[in-house]
Amino acid sequence: MRAHQRPVRVVVAGAGVFGRHHLRVLRELETAGLGTALVAAVEPDPVRAREAAAQFAIPVFAGIEELLAANLNPDAACVAVPTVHHHAVASALLAAGLDLLVEKPLAASLAEADDLIRRAEEKKRILQPGHLERFNPAVLAVEPQLTRPMFFEAHRLSVFTPRSLDVDVVLDLMIHDLDIVLAFARSPVREVRAVGLPILSPKVDIANVRVEFESGCVANFTASRVSTERVRKLRFFAPRQYVSIDYARRDVLVIRIDSAPAGPAPGLSFHKPEVTPAEPLRLEILSFLESVRTRRPPKVTALEGRAALALALDIQSVMAAHAQRAGLADFFRS
């Protein structure tokens, strides 16, 4: 931030589990003089509202209308309300002229996502979907290593918590990997095959998906929110290259096959790209604030958020068709 620039005034909508992280990071950036001021939050739950007000010493309003009536002149907002409320909250904030970082998935339906994109364009506002893993230092370290990935294997397993149950595991967890693979594969989707089952919630809790791209690239995704272990890994193969990313450990391994002109066997070279340690949410919010200041498009655009959502919704309909074929409709209602 240049000396003459005033800090970007940010509010957080939703002081739940993830909204608290936004509040914490914004306060850390404010304290470090990194160009932001945390001015308020919106949280309808009175207990959470009181806790956030006390912890961050900010006014916490019960709704967007109350926030806007308070004339605090916010420039931007982080939206961390349940996905089913993203559209209502984000559209009200866009109407008030705020730039937005909206948690993933961008919205609950394509119609809602398109409406937010249209409103943001009309108002010339930044609309960044919160695809956090793009800012994972391990992913950032892999970007320069990308060649021509043709086969992806993504695993994202977590233990059950009664959160984000307004959506299924595809919109809750798999969407992170869908976004990363779409960004790495850079090809339109040709075909989706998918199976998903509800286990502990009424919605799909575990899913396995195969996506084939027009380029011929294939990606397998497994996501579970009812696992006994926590795994967040992406492995992919390109001709003569293997890359393994452990999102949680923020660790990357690249293996290359170098042609060995003299010997019968090709040589393997192991490479661990340097991963600069940093909290992904801090990098994501810093990147958002940079877009707010410079008016340049965000690193993750709203159209990319829409593409990840479109693929997630396709997967849901393929899973529903599979459930019909397999006679699992009763299982889904139980």
Ligand X SMILES: NC(=O)c1ccc[n+]([C@@H]2O[C@H](COP(=O)([O-])OP(=O)(O)OC[C@H]3O[C@@H](n4cnc5c(N)ncnc54)[C@H](O)[C@@H]3O)[C@@H](O)[C@H]2O)c1
Strands 76-79 and 99-103: parallel
Query: Does 169 interact with ligand X (rule: CB under 6 A)?
Result: no
Least distance between ligand X and beta carbon 135 (Å): 10
Least distance between ligand X and beta carbon 104 (Å): 5
- Among the listed residues 45, 66, 121, 258, the single contact to ligand X using CB under 6 A: 45
Q: Hey, which residues does 122 pair with through a beta bridge?
A: none
Q: Report how far residue 320's alpha carbon sits from residue 200's, in angstroms, rounded to the nearest whole number.
A: 18
Q: Between the CA of residue 89 and those of 22, 65, 268, what are the distances in Å?
A: 16, 10, 52
Which of 331, 330, 311 has the alpha carbon at shortest distance from 154?
Answer: 311
Least distance between ligand X and beta carbon 327 (Å): 31
CB-CB contact of 113 with 305 (8 Å) = yes
Residue nearest to ligand X (CB): 16
Query: Does 80 interact with ligand X (rule: CB under 6 A)?
Result: yes
Please say which residue, 164 or 224, places its beta carbon nearer to ligand X.
Answer: 164
Number of residues that bind ligand X (CB under 6 A): 24
Query: Does 22 interact with ligand X (rule: CB under 6 A)?
Result: no
Strands 218-224 and 231-238: unpaired
CB-CB contact of 118 with 107 (8 Å) = no
Please say which residue, 83 or 91, places its beta carbon nearer to ligand X.
Answer: 83
HSE at residue 39, side-chain half, CA atoms within 13 A, is: 19
Contacts for 121-124: CB closer than 8 Å, 24+ residues apart: 123/94, 123/95, 123/97
Stretch in the footprint of ligand X (CB under 6 A) among 37-45, 198-206, 262-270, 289-297: 37-45
Beta strand ranges found along 14-59 (DSSP E):
36-42
CB-CB contact of 175 with 193 (8 Å) = no
Query: Does 179 interact with ligand X (rule: CB under 6 A)?
Result: no
Please say which residue, 82 or 273, places its beta carbon nearer to ligand X.
Answer: 82
Q: Between the CA of residue 102 and those of 18, 85, 98, 252, 326, what are the distances in Å?
A: 12, 11, 12, 28, 36
Tell me the one-letter amino acid at 2: R
Stretch in the footprint of ligand X (CB under 6 A) among 15-23, 121-129, 141-149, 290-298: 15-23
- Among the listed residues 70, 82, 313, 320, the single contact to ligand X using CB under 6 A: 82
Query: Does 81 interact with ligand X (rule: CB under 6 A)?
Result: yes
Please say which residue, 59 or 82, places its beta carbon nearer to ligand X.
Answer: 82
Query: Does 50 interact with ligand X (rule: CB under 6 A)?
Result: no
Name which of residues 98 to 157 contact ligand X (CB under 6 A). Answer: 103-104, 130, 132
Query: Does 18 interact with ligand X (rule: CB under 6 A)?
Result: yes
- Among the listed residues 48, 134, 232, 233, the single contact to ligand X using CB under 6 A: 48
Please say which residue, 232 or 293, places its beta carbon nearer to ligand X.
Answer: 232
Query: Does 42 interact with ligand X (rule: CB under 6 A)?
Result: yes
**Residues in contact with ligand X by the rule CB under 6 A:** 13-19, 42-45, 48, 80-83, 85, 89, 103-104, 130, 132, 163-164
